[in-house]
């Protein structure tokens, strides 16, 4: 597994960039791809955002293929968070970096760490854990 702290410090403050996949900026899915690759040594399939309907279908497919839903009360570091976004679509992601704080790429603030309890819990629609690493990413 990669160095968690190095990854967090290297991405916080980067700008939001549609379909961003690197140090020039990230979108929420690009950040998820980078996190799981660099911190967990796990490759997720990539895709390019086109519209909310396509985005929701792709997220649902990737979650079903690679993650298992866990109860909110069992959330922990490295779990994926799925949020309802614009128009009620499931189209925003974050990753828990502690039990109550997550990292995500925000259109208005770039890559930030925020409190799940203060920002986002109302829009949270699920907590997911990598199937391949269940129990390993503690």
**Cα 64 from chain centroid (whole Å):** 15
| 3-state secondary structure (DSSP) of residue 60 | helix
Local confidence pLDDT in tens for the 138 residues of the chain: 568 889 999 999 999 999 999 999 999 989 999 999 999 999 988 876 655 556 667 676 777 789 999 999 999 999 999 988 667 777 789 999 999 999 999 999 999 999 998 877 778 989 999 987 654 444
pTM: 0.86
With beta carbons less than 8 A apart as the criterion, state whether 32 and 45 touch: no
Rounded Cα gap, residues 113 and 130, in angstroms: 21
- Residue 114 backbone phi and psi in degrees, to 5: -135, 165
Rounded Cα gap, residues 46 and 43, in angstroms: 9
Rounded Cα gap, residues 137 and 4, in angstroms: 11
Q: What pLDDT is recorded for position 121?
A: 74
Domain 4-130: CATH superfamily, name plus number: endopeptidase domain like (from Nostoc punctiforme) (3.90.1720.10)
Residue 7 burial (CB count, 10 A): 19
């Amino acid at each position: 597994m990669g160095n968690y702290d190095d990854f967090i410090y290297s991405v916080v403050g980067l700008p939001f960039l549609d379909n961003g996949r690197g140090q020039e900026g990230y979108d929420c899915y690009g950040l998820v791809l980078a996190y799981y690759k660099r911190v967990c040594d796990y490759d997720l399939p990539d895709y390019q955002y086109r519209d909310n309907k396509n985005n929701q279908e792709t997220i649902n497919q990737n979650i079903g293929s690679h993650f298992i839903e866990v109860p909110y009360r069992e959330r922990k570091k490295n779990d994926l968070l799925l949020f309802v976004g614009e128009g009620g679509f499931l189209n925003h992601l974050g990753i828990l970096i502690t039990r109550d704080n997550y990292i995500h790429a925000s259109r208005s603030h770039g890559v930030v760490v925020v409190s799940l309890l203060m920002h986002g819990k109302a829009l949270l629609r699920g907590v997911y854990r990598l199937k391949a690493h269940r129990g390993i990413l503690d």
